[in-house]
Copies of this chain bind each other. A is one copy, B any other.
Amino acid sequence: MNPSIRHKARLERHTSTQFDAELEDIRERVLSMGGLVESQIADAARALIDGDGVLGERVSRQDYRVNAAEVDIDELCTRIIAKRQPQAGDLRLVLAVAKTITDLERIGDEAEKIGRFASQVASRERPTSTFRQIEALASHVRQMMRDALDAFARLDSQMALSVSQADIEVDREYESTVRECMTFMMEDPRTITPMLDVLWSVKALERIGDHSTNIGEYVVYLVGGRNVRHTSFEAIEQVVASISSAAQDAGD
């Protein structure tokens, strides 16, 4: 090998290692932003269920940290595209990150809202059965978000699929919780005002499920190169099955 080619090869390897490190850095930032958002959801739900107004206030005041993370990572994505001109899989990864952080930020917004509503209804009497339902719903959407981020971290399309599956169940729980709240309002119209704040919070939880589903869909796109947004659960299932069987063929 002549010296200049060797130099070039070393340079390219060096550049590619740096690039890999940059991609890894972005990936870690997304996961750390996800951790932040997850603790916001957990605190917001806790505040709502326990009637802890102080905690609710704190959640709604801390949303700026999630927002700042989004702006930073978004800036990094733009810089990496401009500087590295990534192709194929790498480009898809950076673009999927840009979308994922938008959904994470919106999940943060929903947690902020729940925190705000929680502080408004903190001192009110609370119907036990409804709040048990809300607790279950909150725990399920948190799990969805965690699974969506795990799927993203491991590029695991099967796990991403399980998020879409869970959303079907969460939508059912949401409908049933809304019906409970309505029954309560009809039985005692004086509760309409506080119960509406509860209803908005329940709605916010349901939206967190939707955003987590979006993140799962970006993962399927990232792994399989197929955009599965706006398709049915069955269609996503087929794409994931074809990814798995292609991976198996490659392994044979």
Contact = CB atoms under 8 A, between A and B. Distances in A.
B78 A91 contact: yes
A242 interface: no
Nearest to A103: B102
A38 to B, nearest CB: 19
Interface in A191-218: 192-193, 196, 199-200, 203
A15 interface: no
A14 B67 CA distance: 42
| Stoichiometry, copies per complex | 2
A248 interface: no
Given A71-B227, A227-B75, A186 B192 contact: yes
A229 B67 contact: yes
A71 B230 contact: yes
A36 interface: no
Interface in A208-252: 227, 229-230
Given A67-B230, A192-B182, A82 B74 contact: no
A74 B182 contact: no
Taking residues whose C-beta sits less than 8 angstroms from the other chain, chain A's interface range is: 20 to 34
Contacts of A99: 98, 102
Interface in A37-51: none
A81 interface: yes
Interface in A131-170: none
- Interface core residue of A74, A78, A91, A192 (most chain B CB under 10 Å): A192
Interface in A66-115: 67-68, 70-71, 74-75, 78, 81-82, 85, 87-88, 91-92, 95, 98-99, 102
Nearest to A85: B85
